[in-house]
Structure 1
Amino acid sequence: MANKVAIVTGGGQGIGEGIALRLAKDGYAVVVNGRTQSKLDNVVQKIKDAGGEAITFAGDVQFKAVNEEMVAFALKEYGRLDVFVANAGIDWVDTIEETPEQQVDNVLNINLKSQIWALQTAPAAMRQNGEQGGSIVLASSIAGMEGFEMLGIYSATKFATRGLVQAAAKELAVDNIRVNAYNPGIVLTPMWDEIDARFAERKNVPLGSTRQAFVDSILLGRGEQPDDIAKYVSFLVSDQADYITGQSLAVDGGIKFQ
């Protein structure tokens, strides 16, 4: 049994790893999910080396059954579920017109359907907490606040996330389950390495130039780190944010404004 338990999907690297490490530091037992066992093992080992509690759950959350099994696993291992961070996501850089059907399906399935499955599987477990309820956090993006060239399908999923957050917040408030999202900006992770490389290929520009152009637009003058998002998620799932639900906030150093 654990006092506080969190699931973090896409937790093997990047933003998800940062969130998992931060929640473990906050005292959560963390179920770290992803598709690559070696990456998950690395994150869990970091948590345990720092004195925290964590366990891996390898699986592809684009499938509803994986989400069901993961929630049941959290309950079996730790006895409760307080937080579900649906962070898993992928990008695809291309024009809308030229994006292959397979990639449309991949982005929709991993970015959007996985979040729907989280919203279908986490609440029943959180209702067992009684008045304590729970917190569900979805990954959106500044590309969910404004459509980005060459990221049209990705942007579409992130706009949809904000709609899910608003609808789910209205449906789950009666159970004291809060639903919010974070909108990252230019986070210096492997995903942005991929985005930059694809822009270089498709737009015939030097490698690194696209990312630097975006970083140069940030008011606070630096690229974002996973911990910048993790600190916000830490606040969002805490008692200090117990009056916040249905919101999608840009955490981007000053690029987009609401």
Structure 2
Amino acid sequence: MSDTGNTGRTVIVTGAGQGIGREHALAFAADGAAVVVNDYQADAAEAVAQQIRESGGRAVAAPGDVADWATGEQIVQTAIEQFGELDVLVNNAGFVRDRMLISLSEEEWDAVVRVHLKGHFVLLRHAGAYWRAQAKAGTPRQARVINTSSGAGIFGSVGQGNYAAAKAAIAQLTIQAASELVGYGVTVNAIAPAARTQMTMGAGEVMAAQMAAPDDGSFDAMDPANISPLVVWLGSPASADVTGRVFEVEGGVVTVLDGWQRAASVDKGARWTPAELGPVVADLLDRSPVQVKPYGAR
């Protein structure tokens, strides 16, 4: 029995054929929600949907490319046609093409930015249009969007310039969407998860890590299932007062990530000259928080 209020709600989870997305889909189903399982691989999406149905839940597969405009619209329509409504969108789909910036090809840049950033926008746009129409018709939903950013997008990550840029943009898109959709009863938040997945480690590394994971009942901090409880809560009516925030999640640790803020400041009251700004900037940096280094930086 759900204690968050998700029973009877309908959830779309993109990239749910494996890894973190799969755990999100299973967790929402266990919490009483109907789940639309999206994945680029149709067989993977159907396998997760079938697992939910065999456990007594409600689920349907909606495979396809989330960055394709028509496909994104169809995924949203699948939720409405199959379950009569849409309450939650979990944007999770993505992949990596890691390389140092000076070695990145145009295709590698475009592919990663497309699936992460455009993929988030496409589903958000079509779901948002539905929720706006519901609100204007006098039947607003307690709608929720949970986007997937990354520590790489917040702090940077050496060798992941395309991925880091896309994930940073998703964090800002979350703040933007939260302010634009609030009038329709929609909250928008994001997570920056850290867990053992094929996207970040590769299939062989994941298998080796799983074999090395504790089997004595002790806590496995890198289990992707650790990420889902926060996502399920953020997708529920219980989270109505939380919007426009980004949470880092790893193991049992949940951290609020505070984005760009004005730190130390100085006003001369007139135009600066380049020559006098050296000590001024040094003083400003001394009076500002220490910058977190990108992952992998020396």
- Calculate the TM-score normalised by the size of structure 1: 0.85
Match of 2:62 among 47, 57, 61: 57
The question of 1:140 aligning with 2:149 is answered yes
Structure with greater contact order relative to length (CA < 8 Å, sep ≥ 6): 1
- Residue in structure 2 matched with residue 189 of structure 1 by the alignment: 197
* TM-aligned CA distance change 1:255 to 1:100, over 3 Å: farther
- The size of the alignment, in residue pairs, is 238
Q: Which amino acid aligns with 1:97?
A: I
Query: Does structure 2 retain, via aligned residues, the 8 Å contact 1:8–1:85?
Result: yes
Alignment of 1:62-141 (within 5 A): 62-127=67-132, 128=134, 130-141=139-150
Distance in structure 2 (CA, Å) of the matches to 1:257 and 1:28: 26
The question of 1:156 aligning with 2:160 is answered no
* TM-aligned CA distance change 1:22 to 1:256, over 3 Å: closer
* Percent of aligned pairs sharing the same letter: 34
Q: Which is higher, the Rg of structure 1 or of structure 2?
A: 2
* SS of equivalent residue, structure 2 residue 247: strand
* SS of equivalent residue, structure 1 residue 149: coil
Match of 1:226 among 211, 224, 227: 224
After the TM superposition, which of the residue ranges 89-98 and 131-140 deviates more from structure 2?
131-140
* SS of equivalent residue, structure 2 residue 175: helix
* TM-aligned CA distance change 1:244 to 1:181, over 3 Å: same
Q: Which amino acid aligns with 1:175?
A: Y
After the TM superposition, which of the residue ranges 42-51 and 162-171 deviates more from structure 2?
42-51
The question of 1:29 aligning with 2:34 is answered yes
Instruction: Kindly report the root-mean-square deviation, in angstroms, between the aligned alpha carbons of the 2 structures.
Output: 2.5
Match of 1:242 among 230, 240, 251: 240
- Residue in structure 2 matched with residue 205 of structure 1 by the alignment: none
Distance in structure 2 (CA, Å) of the matches to 1:24 and 1:105: 34
Unpaired stretches in structure 1, ≥5 consecutive residues: 198-207, 213-220
Q: CA deviation at 1:73?
A: 1.6
Q: Which amino acid aligns with 1:31?
A: V
Q: CA deviation at 1:69?
A: 1.1
- Residue in structure 2 matched with residue 251 of structure 1 by the alignment: 249
Query: Does structure 1 retain, via aligned residues, the 8 Å contact 2:89–2:124?
Result: no
Q: CA deviation at 1:257?
A: 7.1
